[in-house]
Structure 1
């Protein structure tokens, strides 16, 4: 495979033109953070730092994506990152369709490269969301594993190999989850496998909500640090 895109955040001092920074205080899943665009919450310290803070009144954090600027269909994606470990943090590295080919979420799909909720210690989430199979039906394409002790203590390489008929997840080079189009009698069409068109990258650090859970307000500040993203085809 050939490297088609690399973001080496250790050599950057500002985001390049591929990245859109999102701001606002109304997000899904009852999350508590206000996303902002400033140098306190998006900074570079041997990598890209997404920081969450609490000033006694407001939780502020960061979210960014490559929508309309960098998107692709199929390939191997590798991310070198360190996840935050504070109770109530909900970091995510994921992908959404650049165009809603089959309709609004979840009809056009969602690919989560890795999610972590520190209230669920040692557990990572590797999930696909489609019209027929999504987080409302967790036995379908919603793989989790509790085999990652102290996962937030160090940097790890989270990777996903996206092919036409299968998607495979890796942590530090080891396979941790695998989904195959139409397996176990699932719908192989767009309702069950819409992952056939361009997706873009998203990085965010959410706090609380239906997934992040109860928040320890003494934990702040918290950081997700991303050293690099590489995409191969």
Structure 2
């Protein structure tokens, strides 16, 4: 009898069902962050800017600047503001390229989104080296997108040569998130060699597996960097018009954090 009991306990332990419980999930460590616990311009050691007003491939209306009227830090948050000015719309697009480039990890940001019709805020990632060629060949990871005409509907997506919106094969998921424009919520992507998974307030929303068929379906084996921006108009954001009276409009970010697996 004692031998049978010991054998059963040993089998449970081998299956992770013994006294120590099931295997623990992977352990992540913080490797890069901006808590926005300062005042002034965004930290130049962590963020640069994309500048200009060329439509950005989407027929967007805004001109991106590095002005503190469009991107500033105070009271523990980053505020990116789109303004209607005499010359047109201005806004900001912050990039961590060359200051925070990553291969795999957990990427999260806590943010409050604008309500303005015509606004198009995004928290996302682009390839640093464009190893497989121009968009969409080298990939894109969208941690959060929202368009003002569809209030509180948040999206998580990836784009590749095989899967992208221009050929109607985009891999995406969306969810109505009550209070997305009134309160802060957590947007997150976990990126490993095998999959990209997206979460809103730690609830799973999106999953994209590595099909292991080459870069056309999985270009996500190269470095990517973070972007924070607020666009105006464009093929998606302006699909139902832009309400000039709804601006200025802002995306407010509480923090951005990047974790990677412990060695």
Deviations 1:12-70 (A, max 9, x none): 53323221122211122110011111121111132111111112441111111011221
Aligned residue in 2 for 1:20: 48
| Equivalent of residue 211 in structure 1, options 236, 242, 245 | 236
Which of the residues 23, 26, 29 maps onto 1:2?
Answer: 29
Asked whether the 8 Å contact 1:33–1:58 carries over to 2, the reply is yes
Matching residue of 1:227: 254
Report if aligned partners of 2:159, 2:170 keep a CA contact under 8 Å in 1: no
Quick one: higher RCO (CA 8 Å, sep 6+), 1 or 2?
A: 1
TM-score normalized with structure 1 length = 0.93
Whether the 8 Å CA contact 2:139–2:161 is kept in 1: the answer is yes
- The answer to whether structure 1 residue 199 and structure 2 residue 224 are counterparts is yes
Deviation at 1:11, TM superposition (A): 3.1
Instruction: Give the distance between the partners of 1:2 and 1:73, measured in 2 at CA.
Output: 14
Q: State which structure, 1 or 2, has the greater radius of gyration over its C-alpha atoms.
A: 2
| 1:90-114 Cα distance to aligned partner (Å, 9 max, x none) | 0011101110111111111011111
Matches within 5 A, 1:30-179: 30-46=59-75, 47-145=77-175, 147-179=176-208
Q: Check the 8 A contact 2:157/2:170 in 1, yes or no.
A: no
Count of residue pairs brought into register by the alignment: 228
Deviation of 1:177 after TM superposition, in Å, equals 1.1
For the 8 Å contact 1:81–1:225, the answer to whether it is kept is yes
Structure 2: unaligned runs, 5 residues or longer: 1-27
Gaps of 5+ in 1: none
Distance 1:140 1:34, change over 3 A: closer
Compute the RMSD of aligned alpha carbons.
1.4
